[in-house]
Structure 1
Amino acid sequence: MNPGKVRREAVRRLTDLPNVGPATAADLRLLGITRPADLAQADPFALYQALCQQTATRHDPCVLDVFMSLTDFAAGGAARPWWDYTAERKRRYGSRLRDQAAG
């Protein structure tokens, strides 16, 4: 859902979350996330790594940005567009992502 349209009190399904459409909701369900509350204690990098492993595909790092936005929102942060997390992702996980891609 577009972050500007998210109303925290109305979030019930995965697709009610900011930056989540049907494809991302399916990825989350593949990881065992079936409701928004399941993201409250989740680690975005662990989710990203698990998705890459489950699908045997190295996903675009922007998927990690989305996971960061979701875990931040679940922890009480504002609904923000996924691209707001790109600089933070590069700062926090840049070398880990490069190592994962290399190896």
Structure 2
Amino acid sequence: MAVKRLKNRDANDLRRIPGVGEIIARDLQELGIEAVSDLKDADPEELYEKLCVQKGVRVDRCMLYVFRCAVYFASRKSHDPELLKWWRWKDKQGTGSRL
């Protein structure tokens, strides 16, 4: 029971990230991310690729955009409110790069 409580507490920390709810928090935990601070300076593309391998399918690319937003959130003390919207982290059309 204590382990479940600890996981829930960690999931609550991850849910502070804009765009991260219960399911994405669980996905992050399965990738070894237990707290917002674990995402500081992480590589969102690497996290996305690991998740795809773990799930055995190509996960919707929106998850990559959420991971980009999450890393931005974790890596800075102050945030541009527009960049706390996961859809602002989509690939630029024709370039495959983020904002």
With the length of structure 1 as denominator, give the TM-score of the two structures: 0.72
Q: Which residue of 2 aligns with 1:84?
A: 88
Across the two proteins, how many residue pairs are aligned to each other? 82
One-letter amino acid matched to 2:97: R
CA distance in 1, matches of 2:42, 2:32: 11
3-state secondary structure, aligned to 2:63 = helix
3-state secondary structure, aligned to 2:96 = helix
| Cα RMSD, aligned residues only | 2.0
Matched, 1:50 2:70: no
Instruction: State percent identity of aligned pairs.
Output: 37
Higher helix share goes to which structure? 1
Give unmatched runs, 5+ long, in structure 2: 1-11
Give unmatched runs, 5+ long, in structure 1: 1-11, 94-103
3-state secondary structure, aligned to 1:84 = helix
CA distance in 1, matches of 2:40, 2:96: 22
Q: Which residue of 1 aligns with 2:31?
A: 31
With the length of structure 2 as denominator, give the TM-score of the two structures: 0.74
Structure 1 residue 73: deviation in Å? 1.1
Structure 1 residue 56: deviation in Å? 0.5
